[in-house]
Structure 1
Amino acid sequence: LDDVWSGSESLIQNFMFRISGYKILVTSRFVFPRFGSTYKLKLLNDEDAMTLFRKSAFLQDGSSYVRDDLVNEIVKGCRGFPLALTVVGRSLCGQPEVAWISTLKQWSEGQSIFDSNSDLLIRLQTSLDALDERVKECYLDLASFPEDERIPATALIDMWVELYNLDEDGVHALANLHELSTRNLVNLVFARNDAREVDGYYNEHFVMQHDLLRELAIHQSSHKPAEQRKRLIMDIRGNHLPKWSSEQIQRPIHARLLSISTDETFSSSWYNMQLPEVEVLILNFRARNYTLPKFMEKMDQLKALIIINYDFCPAELSNFPLLGSLSSLKRIRLEHVSISSLSKSTLKLRNLHKISLVMCEIGDAFRNLTAQIPDMLPNLVEIDIDCCNDLVEFPVGLCDIVHLKKLSITNCHELDALPEGFGKLASLEVLRLQNCTKLSDLPESIGSLHKLSFLDISDCLSMSKMPIRMGELCGLRKLNMRGCWGLSELPPSAKDLGQLKDVICDEETSYLWEPYMVHLSNLKINVLKEDINLNWLPNLHF
């Protein structure tokens, strides 16, 4: 059955018979999990791509009247996508060599492959038309990130919470991504198999999108003049800013989402654009030093700021205090940047709810502060610190954010201790310390965290003991301690964890709970098998 569409499950069902050795082969743009295993076709390699292209572009004997270098460049531009190879090949079949040169020239000047191949656009458009309107908007937003780069699901959640009022736990966002995946518009990548479990932690979820599908999203978002688009995507090479950016100095742009991508040759020279309605700003760059655009100061509606550096080394951010002028800012995500000391800063982010720091240098950021952190961040409820390997000790000043509800410190391999003042985080509900391999114990004051419902210490390889006051965690319902092979016993107070329902651990440590099962009648022990892969590694460019 070829080209079966979503909603046609009954058609497949009609062909199912109980006959020995009987098989049904279904080809589709969609996934049908009800009918057994799914095989996702990969993009064509160079040899197969050339073979398919020649069948469409040349006569039956495959003979070419066009120079090989032109053929190679056209095939390369189709990026291994079978439909593009077929459609572009047919459009050039029988055309003079100058038509081939013209096509390549259009592509090199930034024109979309869809501008010269309406048939390709029409055939891919059907996949978008089948989407729910909200899911389609989410798909178009994916073009805000550079091609060939993994997109963190957590960044998308931050965007979509503010743009579409989705839930902050990310459940609806992940459902949208799964919907796009079943329609083969994106690929979901998980750093580990148990990352599929829904517990509100999505740092190990990533999205990959084929270059051609990203180009389709950009094409769909670019029909209107720049000042009228709801999302504005700027891919800048060198210092070649789009012409409209200088023309819009006096006229406001009404986009809600703005994405700017620059390379290592960009000199950080900006026009003073007016962007009064932007709610989400994404800055993608590759540089050792980066200056925040001055025009950000007037973005009064900005709610989510995502800054990602794709260079091999962390980037020094200049003009960082500028963020203090963004009165509506609720979410900040910084990836692969260096934050120097804030000791002399008067930065105040009064409405900031969440800050995410990924692969950042933050070891000196909170030292010798003269201002009180609660005064700087009076409404902060969530901190996410991931892969920050210069974090040796948790900043004592952060313990004063008594209204903090979620704290994740994951994959920080140099962190070896938490301060005794940690117990002041009385509002904390979720604490993740996953894969902090040097962390040997937890402070006794953690027993004061009576609202804590979920504790994750998985893969803390050096963890040798649990705090004596562990039993005072009267709200604890779930504990993930897989990979804590250094634990040899639990404190006697563990019997007082009356609300504990779920413990995730390894077979080697599951026995530790046996003496307490008589006291914890509702407790379920989940023993997981080890899963290791390298999907968590970032795509660094050398």
Structure 2
Amino acid sequence: MYVVVSESPDPLTILKTICENIVGGPAPNFRNIEDAHNQLQLQKINSRRNEPILAVLDDIWRFSDLKDLLFIGEQYMTLVTTGDANIMQCIPLWFNKGHYPLPSLQEEHALSLFCLCAFDMSSIPDTHNEQLVKQVQADCKGLPLALQVIGSSLNRQPDHVWKATRDALARGEVSDDNQIAFLLKRLETSIDIWVYVRRMKRNDALPLVRKFEARHPLDMRRDPGTIVLTTQCRRLYMSQKQSELPPEWQTDEDLSSTAQIISIHTGAMNDTQWPQMDFPEAEALVLYLSASEYCIPPFLLTMKKLKILQIHNDSAKQAKLSGLPDFQALSELKSLHHEGLIVPSLHEQCDVSENLEKLYLSLCEGLGRDTMFNFPRLIEFNVDHCSDLEELPAGICSSNSLKILSITHCKSLAKLPDKLGSLKRIRLYQSGCLEELPPSICRLGELELLNISWVEDEQEQSP
């Protein structure tokens, strides 16, 4: 029996799960923790199954949580995983306890874990550069979180993305001292969920991710390109690509009516393949697709509280979308993340988004020179590996709300807007056609960071 406890557990729900495993059926309702322990003891004695049970309580953060979940019974054993060794010292002596510190990953195990995340297999495939893969893997320092996050971010990525990651690692962007700064970029989508769905301040969310990084919990669930942190919110989660939504989503109205975070992984979909469903409480929708043509699910219109929309395409060709509603129908939307898409199909129907604060475009096409966006409250704009971006969207920097501008691996970008608003942080990385900055950069009185770097191509002279 495997139970993820994590930072904010519901002990009565976990004890109910333990009881259901003991009796092999529905558990009674517990009034409180003491009542749950008494009934568990009784159920174990009277259980007809009389089978040995190993209960794994994974990712314990505090002894107070563990104390509520510890239960003694004949042929019943508990295995606890935690990143805090002090918790083990608090367990009463009358428990027959053993302490097994986990060492750092050995080289072969680190490579195997990295390959599982990067290639969905335990070794380096013949189609990839073995030396390049081992360079990236070695610079992850054997840290499980770094291996998983960076490996996942490189899944199905072309060679130039691998080389850029290798160069970033070689420059020390992931080191013993400041590795979390690099990993935070990979975990940014999860932080958005904590901020916009759990109403947590961003400055409060970052220390939690640091705790998460230090503990290396075993409950990380991976979709291509993102790590979803455990929250208290109700989630509907498709972990593997399917041709339709799980049947229980459609038959259990309680699931859809209360779900706050929804993750869907499918291939090509048209409007007839999506079921009619309502998600009135949904605040985050993550779509993973493998297709060049994709219809947005019509139930997106039922998500009146939606704050986060992420669409990730991991096929070899950028996807053209249909069925996307205009932003006026998503009036609460705060964060928009698109990867591997043709952008004009997105903005043709988008008049204005009054509340959008964060926009991230990666491996998208169609930006060119004429793309128009109207986001008057945009705070952060990130563009990564958009090869045909020649100029930034008109007016993107004119609003005084924009504070963060990050443009990476956009080799066609030739100029920045003349007006840069009131930016605080500017990052320009490997944008080889950009020869000068506009004079208005000298008038940015609130500028805190200007990071400009070019990585020398292996076959070219340094500029």
Q: TM-score range by the shorter chain?
A: 0.5 to 0.7
- Are residue 161 (structure 1) and residue 187 (structure 2) matched? no
User: What's the offset of the Cα at 1:403?
Assistant: 2.0
* SS of residue paired to 1:253: helix
Q: Distance in 2 between matches of 1:273 and 1:433?
A: 42
Q: Judge conservation of contact 2:83–2:214 (CA < 8 Å) in 1.
A: no
Cα pair distance change 1:44/1:240, threshold 3 Å:
same
Alpha-carbon displacement from aligned partner over 1:284-319 (angstroms, at most 9, x marks no partner): 110001111111112111111111011011111212
- Are residue 407 (structure 1) and residue 405 (structure 2) matched? yes
- Are residue 259 (structure 1) and residue 260 (structure 2) matched? no
Alpha-carbon displacement from aligned partner over 1:51-106 (angstroms, at most 9, x marks no partner): xxxxxxxxxxxxxxxxxxxxxxxxxxxx87xxxxxxxxxxxxxxxxxxxxxxxxxx
Cα pair distance change 1:388/1:444, threshold 3 Å:
same
Structure 2 residue aligned with 1:450: 445
1:480-491 equivalence runs, <5 A = 486=463
* SS of residue paired to 1:432: strand
Structure 1 residue aligned with 2:394: 396
- Are residue 42 (structure 1) and residue 109 (structure 2) matched? yes
- Are residue 316 (structure 1) and residue 290 (structure 2) matched? no
Q: Which amino acid aligns with 1:399?
A: C
Percent identity between matched residues is 27
Alpha-carbon displacement from aligned partner over 1:346-368 (angstroms, at most 9, x marks no partner): 5221111111111111424844x
* SS of residue paired to 1:306: strand
Structure 2 residue aligned with 1:230: 234
Answer with 1 or 2: which has the greater Rg.
1
Q: Judge conservation of contact 1:435–1:460 (CA < 8 Å) in 2.
A: yes
User: What's the offset of the Cα at 1:328?
Assistant: 0.9
User: What's the offset of the Cα at 1:279?
Assistant: 0.9
Cα pair distance change 1:43/1:451, threshold 3 Å:
closer
* SS of residue paired to 2:397: helix
* SS of residue paired to 1:357: strand
Give the unaligned 5+ runs of structure 2: 1-79, 90-98, 113-120, 123-148, 158-182
After TM superposition, the score normalised by the length of structure 2 is: 0.56
Q: Judge conservation of contact 2:320–2:345 (CA < 8 Å) in 1.
A: no
Structure 1 residue aligned with 2:419: 422
* SS of residue paired to 1:377: coil
Q: Judge conservation of contact 1:334–1:357 (CA < 8 Å) in 2.
A: yes
Q: Distance in 1 between matches of 2:101 and 2:254?
A: 49
User: What's the offset of the Cα at 1:248?
Assistant: 5.0
Q: Which of 378, 381, 389 is the matching residue for 2:379?
A: 381
Cα pair distance change 1:311/1:176, threshold 3 Å:
farther
Structure 2 residue aligned with 1:532: none
User: What's the offset of the Cα at 1:41?
Assistant: 6.3
Cα pair distance change 1:401/1:232, threshold 3 Å:
same
User: What's the offset of the Cα at 1:280?
Assistant: 0.8
- Are residue 302 (structure 1) and residue 306 (structure 2) matched? yes
* SS of residue paired to 2:381: strand
Structure 2 residue aligned with 1:28: 101
Structure 2 residue aligned with 1:336: 340
Q: Distance in 2 between matches of 1:321 and 1:172?
A: 36
After TM superposition, the score normalised by the length of structure 1 is: 0.48
* SS of residue paired to 1:407: strand
Structure 2 residue aligned with 1:175: 210
Structure 1 residue aligned with 2:365: 361
Structure 2 residue aligned with 1:247: 251
Q: Judge conservation of contact 1:327–1:349 (CA < 8 Å) in 2.
A: yes
Cα pair distance change 1:11/1:289, threshold 3 Å:
closer
* SS of residue paired to 1:398: coil
* SS of residue paired to 1:290: strand
Q: Distance in 1 between matches of 2:441 and 2:425?
A: 12
Q: Judge conservation of contact 2:324–2:349 (CA < 8 Å) in 1.
A: no
Cα pair distance change 1:176/1:412, threshold 3 Å:
farther
Q: Judge conservation of contact 1:413–1:436 (CA < 8 Å) in 2.
A: yes
Q: Distance in 1 between matches of 2:440 and 2:111?
A: 57
Q: Distance in 1 between matches of 2:81 and 2:275?
A: 49
Number of equivalenced pairs = 307
Q: Distance in 2 between matches of 1:455 and 1:383?
A: 15
Cα pair distance change 1:366/1:28, threshold 3 Å:
farther
Alpha-carbon displacement from aligned partner over 1:377-422 (angstroms, at most 9, x marks no partner): 2211111111111112223332322321111111111212223x23
Q: Distance in 2 between matches of 1:402 and 1:461?
A: 34
Q: Judge conservation of contact 2:334–2:357 (CA < 8 Å) in 1.
A: yes
User: What's the offset of the Cα at 1:449?
Assistant: 1.4
Q: Distance in 2 between matches of 1:335 and 1:307?
A: 6
1:78-97 equivalence runs, <5 A = none
User: What's the offset of the Cα at 1:179?
Assistant: 3.1
Q: Judge conservation of contact 1:415–1:438 (CA < 8 Å) in 2.
A: yes
Q: Distance in 2 between matches of 1:303 and 1:30?
A: 40
Q: Distance in 2 between matches of 1:295 and 1:416?
A: 40
1:2-17 equivalence runs, <5 A = 6-8=83-85
Q: Judge conservation of contact 1:437–1:461 (CA < 8 Å) in 2.
A: no
Q: Distance in 1 between matches of 2:368 and 2:254?
A: 41
Structure 2 residue aligned with 1:459: 454
User: What's the offset of the Cα at 1:435?
Assistant: 1.9
Q: Distance in 2 between matches of 1:451 and 1:351?
A: 23
User: What's the offset of the Cα at 1:259?
Assistant: 0.6
Q: Judge conservation of contact 1:433–1:460 (CA < 8 Å) in 2.
A: no
Q: Judge conservation of contact 1:5–1:29 (CA < 8 Å) in 2.
A: no
1:60-139 equivalence runs, <5 A = none
Q: Distance in 2 between matches of 1:28 and 1:396?
A: 56
Cα pair distance change 1:449/1:261, threshold 3 Å:
same
Q: Distance in 1 between matches of 2:247 and 2:153?
A: 21
- Are residue 435 (structure 1) and residue 430 (structure 2) matched? yes
* SS of residue paired to 1:457: strand
Q: Which amino acid aligns with 1:451?
A: E
User: What's the offset of the Cα at 1:167?
Assistant: 3.9
Q: Which amino acid aligns with 2:209?
A: L
* SS of residue paired to 1:422: coil
Q: Distance in 2 between matches of 1:393 and 1:303?
A: 28
* SS of residue paired to 2:202: coil
